[in-house]
Amino acid sequence: MLLNYILNLFLYFPEDKSEYIPAAITFTLFFIAAILAMRFIIKISKRQEEKAKEFEEQLRKQNMIKDDQQL
């Protein structure tokens, strides 16, 4: 019984549906910001991946040169 009362405190359905407009606008703005942030993070991640591949290739070349010199 107490649990139902506590949960009902957070449920509010207004009679005037225009009260949903600010919440919808806020949700839309945050949703768009989240998508943009995700795309930004993915773009940076791809750049770092390319740099890591180039660095790995340089290390492989250096190791091949050292191996050739030792022989």
Domain definitions of the chain by residue range: 46-71
16: helix, strand or coil: coil
Global pTM value: 0.65
Distance CA 23, CA 11 (A): 15
What does R_g of the chain's alpha carbons equal in angstroms?
28
Please state, in angstroms and rounded to a whole number, the distance separating the CA atoms of residues 69 and 71.
5
- CA–CA separation, 68 and 30 (whole Å): 57
Q: What is the DSSP letter of 15?
A: S
* pLDDT by 10s per residue, the chain, length 71: 677 777 777 777 788 889 899 999 999 999 999 999 999 999 999 999 999 999 999 999 988 877 777 76
